[in-house]
Amino acid sequence: MQPHVGDDDHPPTALLTAAPAGPRGAQYHPEPVFAITARALGKSYPGPEGAVTHAVSGLDLDVTAGETFAFLGPNGAGKSTTIALLCALARPTAGRATVAGADVLTQPHLVRRRVGMLFQHSAVDGDLTAEQNLYIHARLYGMPRGQVRRRIAEVLETAGLGDRRRSPVRTLSGGMRRRLEIARQLLHAPGVLFLDEPTTGLDPHARAQVWHHLRTLRERHGSTLFVTTHYLEEAENCDRIAIIDRGRLVAQGTPVALKAAIGDDRVFLHTGDDTGAYRIVRALAPPGSALGADAAGVSLRVPDGSSWIPRLCAALTAQGIAVHSASATPPTLDDVFFHHTGRSLDPAQPGGPVPLHPSSPRAATESGGSR
């Protein structure tokens, strides 16, 4: 389903104005204006033999107007279902939500008018030009003829496709096509733009182009973007991140705050005798810290990791173990994901990173400090 365009509804951006000014002379702190709120939102599907799939459960969300909000989770976590609920394309079985000022349960038609939705496999007609694709979309969804040309020129310019407006879509690169699809969803100036894995299937260059375009939308137009992704580096660029796993929100915050909450750095050592090194590091590590060893080397989780390197290297060298490399890195978003879910999202880490705490769900390594 697609939103209507150009009806007599209030312009969605009008819903996103700040709270009224306080009394004269009083310091004015505008209330945050939420483009999306959800409380205890849920969707369950009946399965075979009375089983129930809880695709999304107990979801609480507040997305501020103008924010780029990442919804991060593995396959099957409930990301697409959440988008369908928030865009009023599926009816919740629990809870409530408001999007761009409209209630998804009682005003689903308004929600659909006020949002843009980029689906994972959105199609544009390859034989038509960029402009023709947008024109057909605008007319199909009722945009007044008088506004169409100007609006198409605007969204193509924002997408960086002004000079390709007459090119058949099949001649555009993957990244350009994706930007054209985003431009199509912007024709009716939605209050919130939902993007379901907007860069899946694109090469790194095209992915960077799409993100450049999304940043432009945010900076120039103050657009509210709700983006699902399983690319950690994309989530890293967003204002805030919610991590969803098995239908439940497990963490929410800015990338910096989520990583800071994890605390410990990862110290990594590659030595001439990693088995011997592991024993020595274990003896020196603070009680309760997580450490591990695999074919690549020895890892230790400690606060202020770089301060540990000279001490560990001196101890190893004193025992005749050569240190080939030593590094200390702050927590990554994948560490955050692992901490909350017990799994890694990073394909380069099939076994997952070293657990951050001994109690971590997939702690395959031991705790140090066994002196």
Run of H or E including 262: helix 255-262
Q: Which is nearer to ligand ATP, 53 or 319 (CB)?
A: 53
Q: For residues 227 and 70, is the Cβ–Cβ distance under 8 A?
A: yes
72 vs 155, beta carbon nearer ligand ATP: 72
Q: How many residues bind ligand ATP (CB under 6 A)?
A: 11
| Comparison of 89 and 102: residue with beta carbon closer to ligand ATP | 89
- Give 77 or 280: the residue with its C-beta nearer to ligand ATP: 77
Of 142, 135, 170, nearest in space to 156 by CA: 135
- Using DSSP's 3-state secondary structure scheme, residue 259 falls into helix
Minimum distance from CB of 209 to ligand ATP (Å)?
22
Strands, sheet with 366-367, edge to edge from the N-terminal-most edge strand: 323-329, 265-271, 297-302, 290-294, 366-367
Cβ at position 85, least distance to ligand ATP in Å: 9
Q: To the nearest whole angstrom, how small is the minimum distance from the Cβ of residue 197 to ligand ATP?
A: 7
Shortest spacing between CB 19 and ligand ATP, in angstroms: 34
In the range 299-328, which residues lie near ligand ATP by CB under 6 A? none
d(CA 290, CA 146): 65
Pick between residue 77 and residue 227 the one whose CB is nearest to ligand ATP: 77
Where helices occur in 108-231 by DSSP H, the ranges are 108-114, 130-140, 145-158, 174-186, 204-221
Pairing of strands 265-271, 240-245: unpaired
The CB-of-274 to ligand ATP minimum distance in angstroms stands at 37
- The tokens 């996103």 sit on which residue? 16
Map the footprint of ligand ATP across residues 53-92, applying CB under 6 A.
53, 55, 73, 75-81
Q: Name the nearest CA neighbour of 301 among 279, 318, 273, 281.
A: 281
Instruction: Please identify, using beta-carbon distances, which residue of 27 and 75 lies nearer to ligand ATP.
Output: 75
Length of the chain as a residue count: 371
**Phi, psi at 257, each rounded to 5°:** -65, -40
Rounded-to-integer distance, Cα 23 and Cα 27, Å: 8
CB atoms within 10 A of CB 11: 11
Give 73 or 95: the residue with its C-beta nearer to ligand ATP. 73
Buried b (16+ CB within 10 A) or exposed e, 359-370: ebeebebbbbee
Nearest approach, Cβ of residue 71 and ligand ATP (Å) = 9
Q: Is 52 in the site for ligand ATP (CB under 6 A)?
A: no
Distance in angstroms between the alpha carbons of the first and the last residue of the chain: 63
Least Cβ distance, residue 228 to ligand ATP (angstroms): 7
Min CB(78)–ligand ATP separation in Å: 4
Closer to ligand ATP at the Cβ: 40 or 260? 40
Residue closer to ligand ATP, measured from CB, 56 or 290: 56
Of residues 111 through 130, those in contact with ligand ATP by CB under 6 A are none
Site for ligand ATP in 178-207 (CB under 6 A): none
Q: What are phi and psi for residue 7, nearest 5 degrees?
A: -85, -170
Closest distance of CB 35 from ligand ATP, Å: 21
Which residues bind to ligand ATP, rule: CB under 6 A?
Answer: 45, 53, 55, 73, 75-81
